[in-house]
A and B are shown apart, each in its own frame.
Chain A
Amino acid sequence: MQGWVGTIIQGVLLGGLYAMFAAGLSLIFGIMRLVNLAHGDLIVLAAFAILALTTWLGLDPFLAALLAMPAMFAAGFALQHVLLNRTLGRDLLPPLLVTFGLSIIIQNGLLEAFTADSRRLRLGAIETASIELGGKLAIGVMPLLTLVSAIAVILLLNLLFYRTALGRAFRATSDDLEIAQLMGIDHRRIYAIAMGIAMVVATIAALYLGIRANFDPTIGPARLIYAFEAVIIGGLGSLWGTLAGGIIIGVAQTVGAKLNPEWQILAGHVAFLIVVVLRPRGLFPRALD
C-alpha cells in the first residue's frame, strides 16, 4: 500500500516538471495560436546556457538560471519579432514548418558548440536530499522544489493574465485580433513579449531538467511530446489545466513503471489517449476558464 502511495506522489512530483515544460507552450498557443515545435529545443538551449554560465563563471545553477532569464527573454522577443511574426496568418502550416526548421538549427548549433556529450547541472548534496514523511515514505527535495516552482510559475502567469493591463491585452489579442488593434494594441509587440515570457518559463524548466536528468543537444523533441500531451489533456490555453495534464502524465508513467518497468513511457501515452477519447477538448477547455 505504502509503495503505491509513494508511486503516486512521485508521479505528481514528476508532473510538475512536465507542467513546466508545457507552460510556455500553452501560453504561446493560447495567445497566438502558434504551435511551437522548437519549444523543447529552446528548453535544451536554455539548459546549455545555464551550463555555460556555471562552467565558465563558476556560478551556482540557480544563479546562472537567474542570469540566463533576461537573455532568454530577449532571445524570445527577437525570435518572435524578427521571424515568427512573419509566419502567422490564416494558414497554420508556415509556423509549423518554420519552428520545425528552427528545432533542427538549434540542435545542430548546440552539437557544434557543446558536442553530443551528455551533460548535467551539478548542485551538490541537495540533488539527492530527501524529506522523510514517516512510514518509509520519503520525497526528494529536488522533485518537490520542481513541483512547487511549477505551481508558482503558473500562479504568477495567471496573476499576469488576470490582474494586469498587459494580461488584458494578451487575452484581448487572443479573443479578437482585429478589434485588439482598434484598441491601440500592437499585436506584434504583444506576441514578442509573450514569447519572451515563454522563454523565461523555459529557462526555469531547463534548470530543473538539467539538475534532475542528463541532457544532450538532441533530447528536445522527446521532451516536447510530454509537454504537448500535458497541454492537450489540460485543455488548450488553460494553464491550471496544463498543470493537471502534466500531473496525469507523470502519475501514469510512475504507475506504469511500477507495474512493469517497460511500461513507463507507454502508460503516459495511453493515459493521454484515454483523456482525448473521453474529453476531446481536454479537461479544462478555455471556455470554462
Chain B
Amino acid sequence: MLETRGLTAYYGDFQALYGIDTVIAPGETIAIIGANGAGKSSYLKAITGLLRAGPDSVRFEDRPIGALGAANILKLGIAMVPEGRRLFSSLTTEENLLIGCYGRNVPGIWSLDSVYALFPVLKARRAAPSHTLSGGEQQMAAIGRALMSNPRVLLCDEISLGLAPIMIRNIYQAMPRIKKNGTSIVLVEQDIAQAMKVADRVYCFQEGRVSLSGRPAELTREQVHLAYFGH
C-alpha cells in the first residue's frame, strides 16, 4: 500500500537517509525504532512531503508520490501526528480537531463525535485554548486531529515522548480502535518495548539505513540491541 524504495533525504548538504526500503500493507501496524538521529523523523517527513524525496522513492497504491507537496499527500489519505504534538496554539481544542479535515473531508468513521468518544477528556475541554491542555491531552488532540481526515495511513512521530506512563498507556489503548477500521499505522518510537507490543512488524534504523526488520516475536534481544546501537 505504502512503499519506499531507496528513499534518500537531505537537510541542505546533510544526508539523513541513505536508501530506505520499507513496505506497509493495508491494516498493518509497523514500528520504526532507532536511536536519536537514526533518521526516523526524516523518514516520516520525506513520506509526508515536508522533506524532498525522489519522485519514485515513495509509492502509494502503486503511484509515485515522492514529488508531491505536503498538502497533496494528506489529500491521498496519509496523515501525520507530528513530534512534539504541535497543536495550533491560537485555536481551541475543537478547532484543532476541525482543521484536521480541512484538506481532506471524506466520509468515514472518524468525526468530532467519534474522536470525542475515543478521548472523552477532549470533549470536556473542547472550548479551551489548546496551549492550556496537559501534555497527554495535547497528544490525544494531535492524534484526533490526524484522525479527522479519515486517513488510510496514520504516521505517528514519538507519541509517547515526554508523557507520564499512565498517559502513554491511555494513548496506546486507543491504537486497536484505530486499527480496527483498516487504517495502517506507522509508529516512530524510541520506547522499544511499547513499539514491539503493538506492532505487526518492526524496522530498526541506524544512521539513516535499515539495520534490521522483522516480526517482533521473531527478533531476539541481542539482534535488536545490535541493530539499535550498532555495537
Contact = CB atoms under 8 A, between A and B. Distances in A.
Interface of A: 165, 168-169, 171-172, 174-176, 178-187, 286, 289
A181 B50 contact: yes
* Interface core residue of A165, A169, A183, A187 (most chain B CB under 10 Å): A183
Given A169-B99, A185-B71, A179 B86 contact: yes
Given A181-B50, A182-B50, A165 B88 contact: no
A178 B73 CA distance: 13
B89 interface: yes
Contacts of A172: 88, 91, 99, 102
B88 A171 contact: yes
* Interface core residue of A165, A168, A184 (most chain B CB under 10 Å): A184
Interface of B: 48-50, 69-72, 74-75, 79-80, 82, 86, 88-91, 95, 98-100, 102-104, 145, 149
A182 B102 contact: no
A160 B50 CA distance: 29
A185 B71 CA distance: 6
Contacts of B70: 178, 181-182
Nearest to B104: A184
Given A165-B98, A176-B88, A182 B80 contact: yes
Majority DSSP secondary structure for residues of A touching B? helix
Given A168-B98, A172-B99, A183 B74 contact: yes
B211 to A, nearest CB: 28
A171 B82 contact: no
Nearest to A172: B88
Nearest to A170: B90
A176 B104 CA distance: 19
Nearest to B75: A184
Nearest to B131: A287
Given A165-B102, A168-B102, A178-B50, A184 B71 contact: yes
